[in-house]
A = this chain, B = another copy of it.
Amino acid sequence: MVKQRISLAGGTSRGLVLDLIRTMGPVSRVELAETTGLTQATMSTVVRQLLGEGLVIETGRGESTGGKPPVMLDVNPDARFAVGVQLGLESLTYVVINLSGAIVGRTRTTGIGSSEPTEMVQRLAAEVHRTLAGLGIEKASVVGVGVVAPGPLDVGRGMILHSPHLTAWLNVPIRSMLADAVGLPVILDNDATAAAIGDFWSGKLDDAVAHATVYMGTGIGAGVLIDGIVFRGASSNAGELGQIVVTGPDGESTYLEEVADPGAVVRRARSTGDANRLGLPGEDDFGDFRMIALAAARGDEGATALIEDSAEHLASGVLSLANLFDLDSVSLAGPAFAVAGPTYVSVISRRLEADFFVRTQHGIRVRLSTDVADAAAVGGAALVLQTELAPRTMGLSPVG
């Protein structure tokens, strides 16, 4: 747990206390004061505020540690909700989570395809409203909408800067257009960053200090967290793991994406003849990749070799990432890991155990994210909860 490692640097006391109640709850005021170093008087004030807002509830008495048994606090899971939307060419995924980070609803609709932004934003807003209505959730209890897309983004202006597929969407102020259409605060962020926050919000990262969520959809990215705070770099475009320079199949230098992502696996399947043998339709790379992963799961040797080759390349990339960020925790998220995740976890774990530079100092836990395929959508929703309710920023943040 986070005990003895917490101060208020980079956050508000209200947000920090809410975060701790969420991860430690049920928990007493005394335990919270001890963990934060805040005085009991300050803690009482903060807790009174959180009770008043309905975010926290008293859940009864805990065990006595000598005197009167303390009143225990926990989050009120259904006090607030957040919506996460994963933008995709083929499909849109909507996820609604509550204050505990539990998924209370999920919908998938037709993807962006060739829709224009203006028309699409109207559809997104309508689908958000329909999803919430279907779950019987009042808009007043919704904190906001987190939209996730692959990078690079202009997070400040809420725009996609570059995408091979979403060309009509580039440099369009999606965030503000959607905020107007849906009537709720909207955040636009990177899929890998969102997935990392989703992992953190799920409470599964325990006492990880330096964590990375490696996200693989059609491309590869990473979201890095230090004590649960997103590492953003100069322009919120950090973690472009697919863009590190590695060795290609012919010994030439190339980018990691070119040798490890689903498209690379499919290209290799074509060159080895496995594509024909497995009868891949060849319509979209991601669909073909999924069939290769399924064949590997059934024990097909050629398919297994293809997945393992991708995993070895990704493992080299994760090793570089771990040596640069001095990681102690890695999780894998994104649709590419939906079927083949366990193979990637084992190849990456083995590589880090053998070669991580400071392995004598500490290990690195490698695991799959909880909701591996929809991790970015879940994370988009978690990012809204974190931003609106328990903000954490790194470094010297702007004033006013």
List residues of chain A with CB under 8 Å of any chain B CB: 2, 4-7, 9-11, 16, 36-37, 151-152, 154, 161-162, 208-210, 222, 226-229, 231-241, 243-248, 250-253, 316-317, 319-321, 323-328, 357-358, 360-362, 392-400
By a CB distance below 8 angstroms, the chain B residues around A398 are 4-5, 7
By a CB distance below 8 angstroms, the chain B residues around A222 are 324
A399–B251 contact, CB under 8 A?
no
Bound complex: CA A173 to CA B252 (Å): 44
By a CB distance below 8 angstroms, the chain B residues around A237 are 326, 357-358, 361
Of chain B, the residue at the smallest CB distance from A398 is: B5
By a CB distance below 8 angstroms, the chain B residues around A357 are 152, 237, 240, 243
Bound complex: CA A362 to CA B245 (Å): 20
Contact of A362 among B234, B239, B253 (CB under 8 A): B234
Contact of A7 among B154, B232, B319, B397 (CB under 8 A): B397
- Known contacts A161-B361, A240-B357, A324-B222; A396/B10 CB under 8 A: yes
A245–B246 contact, CB under 8 A?
yes
Given A9-B10, A152-B358, 10 new contacts (CB under 8 A): A4-B399, A7-B396, A208-B234, A228-B396, A234-B328, A235-B362, A245-B316, A251-B252, A324-B325, A392-B396
By a CB distance below 8 angstroms, the chain B residues around A161 are 358, 360-361
- Known contacts A210-B233, A244-B320, A361-B152; A325/B238 CB under 8 A: yes
Which of A154, A208, A228, A325 has the largest count of B CB atoms less than 10 A from its CB?
A325
By a CB distance below 8 angstroms, the chain B residues around A395 are 9-10, 209, 226-227, 229, 394
By a CB distance below 8 angstroms, the chain B residues around A246 are 245-247, 253
Bound complex: CA A245 to CA B229 (Å): 27
B234–A326 contact, CB under 8 A?
yes
A320–B245 contact, CB under 8 A?
yes
By a CB distance below 8 angstroms, the chain B residues around A317 are 245
- Known contacts A36-B399, A226-B395, A246-B246; A239/B324 CB under 8 A: yes
Which of A9, A10, A232 has the largest count of B CB atoms less than 10 A from its CB?
A9
A323–B243 contact, CB under 8 A?
yes
By a CB distance below 8 angstroms, the chain B residues around A154 are 361
Nearest Cβ distance between residue A207 and chain B, in whole angstroms? 10
By a CB distance below 8 angstroms, the chain B residues around A250 are 251
By a CB distance below 8 angstroms, the chain B residues around A252 are 247, 251
